[in-house]
């Protein structure tokens, strides 16, 4: 029985609340998901129609047997993704939990199994995990080259754009997007960089230069 991502979030919220209490209340779910009580009531009606929760107006909320099974599966998936991000990808636990909340909806069984296997592998092989962690840290510092690392005359390919929406919007409007290639025409220490892209010469400011991740072509 397929349910929407939004309904999965409600199931997971009820599941977590129910782990600490025997039941959930509308206000508990609203606070947990930061939504209006009217939205919770609407979701509960839909879940009740699918026999996933026992819910009566102004009453307590409990997962049915089917709901408990579905919620437990969602909970396990989120934990698996969160563990992979923190233990294999070396992302902080708080950020991992936040990222997992969105990612768990989009993983098929095969990918999830591989992620769980890698997490288990590195738990059992601490030394190899240390090698991976060192490499990731080194990559972030040395190998992820921003435009200021390249020389005049070099042609580069944009891999991704960092920075806030304003910087990204400005660069995108100039045609500097992931996948595009251009040549660095002029570069002097501490000065703006001049590039040649789509038959146009463009001067880039410091904040734009360090927002462009690129590689040689």
Residue ranges of alpha helices (H) inside the chain are: 5-20, 26-33, 37-49, 65-87, 93-103, 109-124, 126-138, 165-173, 206-209
Of 98 and 129, more confident: 98
Does the pTM surpass 0.75? The reply is no
Taking only the tens place, the pLDDT of each residue in 152-181 is 999 999 998 988 889 999 999 999 999 999
* pLDDT confidence band for 141 (50 / 70 / 90): low
> What integer best gives the mean pLDDT of the chain?
87
| Half-sphere exposure of residue 118: CA atoms within 13 angstroms, side-chain side | 19
CA distances from 209 to 112, 153, 172, 179, 197 (A): 37, 16, 13, 16, 14
Domains and CATH numbers, the chain: 5-63 (1.10.10.10), 71-127 (1.10.60), 147-216 (2.30.30.90)
Question: Residues 35-49: what's their mean pLDDT?
Answer: 93
What is the share, in percent, of the chain residues with pLDDT greater than 90? 37
Could you give the CA distance from residue 176 to residue 168 in angstroms, rounded to a whole number? 9
Could you read off the pLDDT of 46-105 as tens digits, one per residue? 999 999 999 877 788 999 999 999 999 888 888 899 898 988 888 888 888 888 877 877
Closest by CA position to 3, among listed 87, 73, 61: 73
């Amino acid at each position: 029985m397929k349910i929407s991502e939004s309904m999965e979030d409600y199931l997971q919220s009820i599941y977590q609340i129910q782990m600490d209490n025997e039941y959930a209340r509308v206000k508990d779910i609203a606070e947990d998901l930061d939504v209006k009580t009217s939205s919770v009531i609407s979701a509960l009606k839909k879940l009740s129609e699918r026999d996933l929760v026992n819910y009566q107006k102004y009453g307590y909320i409990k997962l049915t047997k089917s709901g408990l099974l579905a919620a437990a599966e969602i909970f396990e998936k989120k934990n698996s993704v969160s563990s992979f991000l923190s233990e294999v990808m070396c992302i902080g636990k708080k950020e991992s939990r936040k990222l997992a909340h969105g990612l768990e909806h989009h993983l098929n069984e095969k990918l999830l199994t591989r992620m769980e296997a890698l997490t288990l592998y590195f738990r059992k092989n601490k030394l190899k995990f240390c090698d991976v962690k060192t490499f990731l840290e080194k990559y972030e510092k040395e190998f992820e080259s921003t435009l200021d690392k390249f020389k005049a005359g070099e042609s580069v390919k944009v891999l991704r754009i960092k920075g806030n929406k304003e910087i990204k919007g400005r660069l995108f409007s100039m045609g500097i997007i992931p996948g595009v290639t251009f040549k660095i025409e002029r570069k002097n220490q501490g000065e703006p960089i001049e590039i040649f892209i789509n038959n146009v010469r463009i001067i880039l400011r410091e904040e734009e230069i360090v927002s462009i991740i690129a590689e040689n072509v």
